[in-house]
Chains A and B, each alone.
Chain A
Amino acid sequence: MKRAMKPAIPDRSDDPLVAVSLTVNGEQVSRNVSVRMLLSDFLRHELGLTGTHVGCEHGVCGACTVLIDGKAGRSCLTLAAQAGGYDIRTIESVAAPDGTLHPIQQAFKECHGLQCGYCTPGMVMNIVGRFEEARPLDLSDAGIRDLLSGNLCRCTGYGNIVTAVRRAAELLGRK
């Protein structure tokens, strides 16, 4: 897998293993993993896709948001064992292969929609998921804040993120 690395962590676990096979960023991957491995840890530890961040591990902060069969979902609230056959997309799939930012990422950059950046992958995946739906967007302040309500940011105060969503809609010609 491009940009992936395999961390040299010895597997000392006695956990029961389960075979999972799923699609991650367009590539088929198969692993034997602990039955209790969270999808977030699967992406990070098994595949080295550390762009998916882990914050609260109980579904509140949204840092681990990925696309599960095209819809934004919490990778910390999904077991790798459940994800057999799923199509997962992570933040690593969003920018072009040459590094050109996705318009949503570009909008975050232009609008200073991030500071430390920890929450940004989850924010971006949530927004990508919503923008890929055909239904019209609600680009009012209230509508954007509702869209972002499942993603916590402790740096920006959200104002610039709201602006970035509106700018992303402009860049993508979305209404």
Chain B
Amino acid sequence: MKPSIFGYKAPATIEEAVQLLAADADAVVLAGGQTLLPAMNFRAANPSLLVDIQHIPGLRGIAVGEGGIVVKAMTRHREFELDADVVRVNPLIAEAMQHVAHVPIRNRGTVVGSLCHADPSAEMPLILLLLGGSVIAHGPAGTREIAAVDFFRSFLTTARHRDEIVVEARFPALPPGAGWAFDEVTRRHGDYAVVGVGCVLNIDGEGRASGLRLAACGIADRPVRLSAAEAMLDGKALGGSDLDAAVAASLSAVTQPDEMTVSASYRRRALGTLIRRTVTDAARRARQRTAP
């Protein structure tokens, strides 16, 4: 289908873009358009005005420094996935990115756009939450930093105000020696996850997990940290009974109701499988990295 009529502005400054958003309650930001345009073609989204931010200076690129990784608003998924410095300081990102749609979509879609869309089944919001990252929002009153845990509020809903533009996202580097893993269950290659799980952990000299983080997408109205499982696994040797207990403690985190193609019980099964798989893979990598 074709989109319904809308206005189109491509401002040259961030201030102008924010003013356009503030002046029109139905205006939306256009970055890569890989989610917005399909929604408009379906007429599921009917914005009055598209504010195309691609020509605003300073919204491109990736910076890797002491504090982690800064991804600007117009940075495409594919740039993030293939950036050698990002892979070096945080290989979890490239692993998760393999599951984000298909290469032609990743060539155009933006990381920050995916975060702002906040699909509860999407990979990048889960990764930002898992790593404890944040976003920087620019609005009429200036800029503010919003932690991932506060940013994702509900289905397609974030803490971003309507007249704010998220100008960058900040992804922390992995802790030294940390192991990582991301995996998901999908119905077809490249689809949104039915359930996705990410894990980061360190293994200490005694062979026990420390700093263990687990998060999932596809199980609730937003990505969630599996804090009950984290608490049970931290300090453990991650044997079979440890994993059994962590899985059992996580099943109540699945709050998505039965849907046409996926039941809640299937999501719980998938969640359990993915927790076992990602914790085991992350532990294996941590042991490899810390092996003498």
Name A's B-contacting residues (CB within 8 A).
Answer: 15-16, 18, 35-36, 38, 41, 57-59, 62, 65, 68, 71-74, 76-79, 81-82, 84, 126, 129-130, 135, 145-147, 149-150
Bound-state CA distance A15–B3 (Å) is: 12
Please give me the residue from chain A that is nearest to B1 by CB atom: A57
Q: Which of B10, B33, B78 contacts A71 (CB 8 A)?
A: B78
Q: How many B residues, CB 8 Å from partner?
A: 31
Contact yes or no, B107 A58, CB < 8 A: no
Please give me the residue from chain B that is nearest to A64 by CB atom: B104
* Between-chain CB contacts (< 8 Å), 19 pairs: A15-B5, A35-B5, A35-B6, A36-B4, A36-B5, A38-B3, A38-B37, A57-B41, A68-B108, A71-B108, A72-B104, A74-B34, A78-B33, A82-B33, A129-B107, A146-B103, A147-B103, A150-B102, A150-B105
Contact yes or no, B37 A59, CB < 8 A: yes
Q: Which of B41, B50, B190 contacts A58 (CB 8 A)?
A: B41
Bound-state CA distance A18–B49 (Å) is: 14
Contact yes or no, B104 A62, CB < 8 A: yes
Name B's A-contacting residues (CB within 8 A).
Answer: 1-8, 10, 30, 33-34, 37-38, 41-42, 50, 52, 54, 78, 82, 98, 101-105, 107-108, 189-190
Shortest Cβ-Cβ A-B pairs, 8 listed = A150-B102, A58-B38, A71-B107, A77-B37, A72-B104, A149-B189, A35-B8, A73-B108
Contact yes or no, A74 B189, CB < 8 A: no
The interface residues of chain B lying within 8 Å CB-to-CB of A59 are 34, 37-38, 105
Bound-state CA distance A71–B32 (Å) is: 13
The interface residues of chain B lying within 8 Å CB-to-CB of A145 are 189
Given contacts A57-B1, A82-B30, contact A150 B103 (CB under 8 A): yes
Contact yes or no, A18 B78, CB < 8 A: no
Contact yes or no, A36 B108, CB < 8 A: no
Contact yes or no, A74 B5, CB < 8 A: no
Bound-state CA distance A130–B106 (Å) is: 13
Contact yes or no, A74 B108, CB < 8 A: yes
Closest chain A CB from B92 CB (angstroms) = 19
The interface residues of chain A lying within 8 Å CB-to-CB of B8 are 18, 35, 79, 81
